[in-house]
A and B are shown apart, each in its own frame.
Chain A
Amino acid sequence: MGLKSYFHLKQVGHNFRQNWPTQLMTLLTITLSVLIFSFFLLIYLNVVNLGEQLGDELRLVVYLDNEVAPALQPLLRDKITAYAKVDKVLFISRAEAYSRLQKQLNKEKDLLADLGPEFLPPSIEVYPEKSLHSFSRLKEFSDLLATLPGAQKVQYGQEWLERFGYFTELLRVIVGLSGTLLILATGFMVSCTIRLTVVAKESELEILRLVGASNRYIQSPLFFEGTLQGLIGSALGLILLYTIFIWTKTHLGGPGLLNLLQFTFLPATTTALIIGGTTLLCAWGSLLSIRKQMRI
């Protein structure tokens, strides 16, 4: 470690010891802000992930008046793929629909004993590509499919998707708001701490100037202080989040929703970005505060 860094870090240690209640409050604020933000981000990312997983099963079902003759199927297929790229198109006859229903009913299939397959409409199942998975694009595609000859109705879980979309949107807003909270709270607290440190060290700073301390000598420890608070605070926040995550998985896991959802922790890149971003934010906040307080 360079001699200069050694002296600066020594000063940082001295400042922490001298001003520990304020330092602790700042650290706590940063930790909690990062925890809140990361918590909502974790939920948001998992919900988006869930959406993608369910999206793999997404299909639009076009219910028809009559079955499509085999000779006409390629024509219809071409017409559908002309609208948008799809993974696959399946033509489901009444008989096939009946057979599926029997399988679904399983032990209750005797309910269908007196019913023939005629009551079930034939359909075309369209499996769209992932690029179509935004709600607005699906709706557009659904409206286009409704214009196919013989199409009675198009279903794709509109209501559920709409609600899911709104929920995801809400989460996005909450993540944005908590991110803003993180920035404001962190910046404000670091700035205040630096200000308090400068005021508390007024006589010391005066004497340091009298013995020839450069601006760098005076400023660097304060800058390091803010940066360290950001680094430690954000790391602590994420450690807490991970602890909550493990606890939730352990105590609320097992057969049920959480197992189905494949709830995962934040990716390493995201974790590194949060720590890096918070550290930079605190460093920047302390630098601004130092310059303002010391009129340099």
Chain B
Amino acid sequence: MLRSFSDQLPLVDIVKATKVYPPNIVAIQNISLSVAKGELLFLTGMSGAGKSTLLKLMCAIEQPTKGVVEVGGLDLAKTNPAVIQQLRQEIGVIYQDFKLLPKQTVFQNIAMPMEVAYRDQREINQRVDQLLKLLLISHKRDIETGKLSRGEQQRVAIARAAANSPALLLADEPTGNLDPETSSLVMGLFEQLHREGTTLIIASHDEALYRNTGYRRVELEHGLFTNHSSPRQLTLPISGSLYGSRAETA
């Protein structure tokens, strides 16, 4: 569905979206945003700016009070629930509260998106082990996620979102509980997915994550866009072995 979507049209298209929670809490206001297929976008802003709300609209967990949210050309508010479920198989989401099943093991949690997509068991085993190795939690494979530290849980949530090689990955504060080294690993995974064609939207207030990257950044404040940086505006090179350095684009 999303993988075969046209490259010429935005994969995510939000038009004048407003979300008001009862009784009268305005989470986002009149937001318009287009994300191209294969793009990596940072959604930044302080806590409570509306980043999570925007991501929830993109994966149809919430519906906008006003405006339109389209993913893969489908208006999510008007799409059949069965089609939404199909769409979700191509969207990986890293939730701020992880949403793991504490009584199930790390393997079972990560395998879940692939099982609902009826992937072959051998393929599932292979992919899960690959992700565990990448995120340095192979030794926790058969441990219940309820017994892990927050940092480990976060890595499991990241692995689950990436498991199905999604066409669209939405990450809500993916490195909030991670040390700088592990954060680098995570960004490495994101970049790998990006190279494979995944569209990524990463919501984070961690400046270290998006500073000096070559990627577009939009900033939210009190539910409104305040800054919309193109790759051209980002100037500083990135240090560190995983990123290499990115020169300023004039």
A residues at B contact (CB < 8 Å): 3-4, 6-7, 203-204, 206-215, 217
Q: Which residue of A lies closest to B88 (CB)?
A: A212
- Provide the bound-state CA to CA distance between A6 and B101, in Å: 21
Contact-residue size bin, chain B (C-beta under 8 Å from the other chain):
20 to 34
Specify which chain A residues have a CB less than 8 angstroms from the CB of B113 in the assembled complex. Answer: 211-212
Contact B99 A214 (CB under 8 A): no
Taking A7-B115, A211-B88, A212-B116 as given, write out 11 further A-B residue pairs in contact, using a Cβ cutoff of 8 Å, ordered by the A residue number. A204-B101, A207-B99, A208-B116, A209-B85, A210-B88, A211-B89, A211-B112, A212-B87, A212-B89, A212-B90, A214-B86
- Provide the bound-state CA to CA distance between A255 and B189, in Å: 83
Contact B99 A210 (CB under 8 A): yes
Specify which chain B residues have a CB less than 8 angstroms from the CB of A204 in the assembled complex. Answer: 101, 104
The 9 closest A-B CB pairs, nearest first, are A212-B88, A212-B89, A213-B116, A211-B113, A3-B118, A214-B85, A212-B85, A217-B116, A211-B112
Contact B82 A212 (CB under 8 A): no
Given A212-B88, A214-B82, A214-B86: A207 touches B101 (CB 8 Å cut-off): yes
Interface SS of A by simple majority: helix
Q: How far is the CB of B113 from chain A (nearest CB, A)?
A: 4
Specify which chain A residues have a CB less than 8 angstroms from the CB of B59 in the assembled complex. Answer: 210
Residue B93 CB within 8 A of the other chain: yes
- Provide the bound-state CA to CA distance between A215 and B86, in Å: 10
- Provide the bound-state CA to CA distance between A217 and B91, in Å: 18
Specify which chain B residues have a CB less than 8 angstroms from the CB of A206 in the assembled complex. Answer: 99
Q: List, sorted by A's number, 21 A–B pairs whose CB atoms are closer than 8 Å.
A: A3-B118, A3-B120, A4-B118, A6-B121, A203-B101, A207-B112, A209-B88, A210-B59, A210-B61, A210-B88, A210-B93, A210-B99, A211-B116, A212-B85, A212-B88, A212-B89, A212-B90, A212-B91, A214-B86, A214-B116, A217-B116
- Provide the bound-state CA to CA distance between A255 and B88, in Å: 73
Q: How far is the CB of A153 from chain B (nearest CB, A)?
A: 79
Q: How far is the CB of B143 from chain A (nearest CB, A)?
A: 17
Q: Which residue of B lies closest to A215 (CB)?
A: B82
Residue B117 CB within 8 A of the other chain: yes
Residue B127 CB within 8 A of the other chain: no
- Provide the bound-state CA to CA distance between A238 and B90, in Å: 48
Contact B88 A7 (CB under 8 A): no
Specify which chain A residues have a CB less than 8 angstroms from the CB of B116 in the assembled complex. Answer: 208, 211-214, 217
Q: Which residue of A lies closest to B120 (CB)?
A: A3
Mark interface residues in B51-80 (1 if CB within 8 Å of A CB, else 0): 000000001010000000000000000000
**Max chain B CB contacts within 10 Å: which of A206, A208, A212?**
A212
Q: How far is the CB of A120 from chain B (nearest CB, A)?
A: 87
Specify which chain B residues have a CB less than 8 angstroms from the CB of A213 in the assembled complex. Answer: 85, 116
Specify which chain B residues have a CB less than 8 angstroms from the CB of A207 in the assembled complex. Answer: 99-101, 112
